[in-house]
């Protein structure tokens, strides 16, 4: 299993880092068998697995069930546990919740933005932290690209340097212009993981349900569908239904 330090050491080597979300035992097994570097148990499971509109709909109770399942399915892969909305609202709450994830087998935690004092406190307790900048789904008013204006780009760049200085081993950069992704990647020591961050980041993350085509919905502009599992699944179940109906008494 790659540790946070192993991942950070890949910076500048030209070896890109792969991360994909997974939320349960079976798909975690699949991700590990595919050789993915990191599995993110993203709070996007609120949307992909539970059908909620917002990631704000879930909390630590749900997340712990999914993190534990993924750790059981992928015992040899670095699992990043996503801190759900308000679970990191202050340093002590964030530490208590992050510790729950680490005790379940997660190798690191991810959190959105720079909640005051939280990253510093987690790092002081030796919790490996993956930051998340750019589009922040837990608090975003819309899902448009961030960092298009000079002011917004500068704020994201400064936040990236800040989380880097606090000792985050990596940061997700979501839905920002390619040039900004490139600039930040060249300026920080931590690994940058893009999702809609252009081709110059140190690695990439995709939501598994987008990558595998698990839903018949339109994908975000930066996602790629590598297989159409929704159609394969419907086809398989249709065959099953037919086989039951055709069974002779």
Measured from the CB atom, is 133 or 247 closer to ligand KIV?
A: 133
- Max Cα distance, the chain (Å): 72
Measured from the CB atom, is 218 or 245 closer to ligand KIV?
A: 218
Q: Alpha helix locations (H) across 188-228?
A: 208-211
Which H or E element spans position 203?
Answer: strand 203-206
32, 112, 157, 174: the catalytic one is 174
Measured from the CB atom, is 42 or 198 closer to ligand KIV?
A: 42
In angstroms, the CA 48 to CA 45 distance is 5
Nearest CA among 165, 224, 176, 203 for reference residue 78: 203
Task: Give the interface with ligand KIV as residue ranges (CB under 6 A).
Answer: 21, 40, 42-44, 82, 132, 172, 174, 195, 205, 207
In angstroms, the CA 142 to CA 122 distance is 29
> Does residue 170 have an active-site annotation?
no
Residue 148, CA distances (Å) to 31, 145, 154 in order: 34, 7, 10
Parallel, antiparallel, or unpaired: how do β-strands 38-41 and 17-21 relate?
Answer: parallel
In angstroms, the CA 62 to CA 156 distance is 30
Which H or E element spans position 79?
Answer: strand 78-82
Min. distance of Cβ 227 from ligand KIV in angstroms? 19
Min. distance of Cβ 4 from ligand KIV in angstroms? 17
Min. distance of Cβ 55 from ligand KIV in angstroms? 6
Within 10 A of 111 (CB to CB), how many other CB atoms are there?
Answer: 26
Q: Residue of minimal CB distance from ligand KIV? A: 42
- Residue 98 structure tokens: 């992050």
Min. distance of Cβ 204 from ligand KIV in angstroms? 10
> Which residue has 């995709």 as its token pair?
206
Measured from the CB atom, is 52 or 240 closer to ligand KIV?
A: 52
Min. distance of Cβ 132 from ligand KIV in angstroms? 6
Measured from the CB atom, is 20 or 104 closer to ligand KIV?
A: 20
By annotation, the residues acting in catalysis are 174
């Amino acid at each position: 299993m790659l540790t946070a330090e192993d991942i950070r050491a890949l910076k500048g080597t030209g070896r890109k880092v792969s991360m994909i979300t997974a939320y349960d035992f079976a798909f975690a097994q699949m991700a590990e068998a595919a050789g993915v570097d990191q599995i993110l148990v993203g709070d996007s499971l609120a949307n992909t697995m539970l059908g909620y509109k917002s990631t704000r709909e879930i909390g630590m109770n749900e997340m712990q069930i999914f993190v534990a399942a993924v750790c059981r399915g992928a015992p040899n892969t670095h699992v990043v546990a996503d801190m759900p909305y308000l679970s990191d609202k202050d340093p002590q709450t964030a530490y208590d919740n992050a510790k729950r994830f680490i005790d379940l087998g997660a190798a690191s935690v991810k959190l959105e933005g720079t909640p005051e004092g939280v990253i510093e406190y987690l790092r002081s307790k030796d919790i490996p932290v993956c930051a998340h900048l750019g589009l922040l789904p837990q608090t975003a008013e819309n899902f448009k690209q961030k960092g298009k204006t000079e002011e917004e780009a500068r704020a994201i760049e400064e936040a990236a340097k800040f989380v880097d200085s606090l000792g985050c081993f990596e940061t997700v950069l979501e839905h920002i212009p390619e040039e900004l992704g490139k600039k930040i990647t060249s300026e920080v020591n931590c690994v940058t993981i893009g999702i809609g961050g252009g081709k110059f980041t140190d690695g990439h993350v995709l939501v598994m349900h987008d990558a595998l085509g698990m839903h018949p919905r339109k994908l975000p502009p930066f996602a790629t569908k590598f297989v159409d599992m929704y159609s394969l699944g419907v086809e398989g179940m249709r065959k099953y239904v037919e086989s039951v109906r055709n069974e002779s008494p």
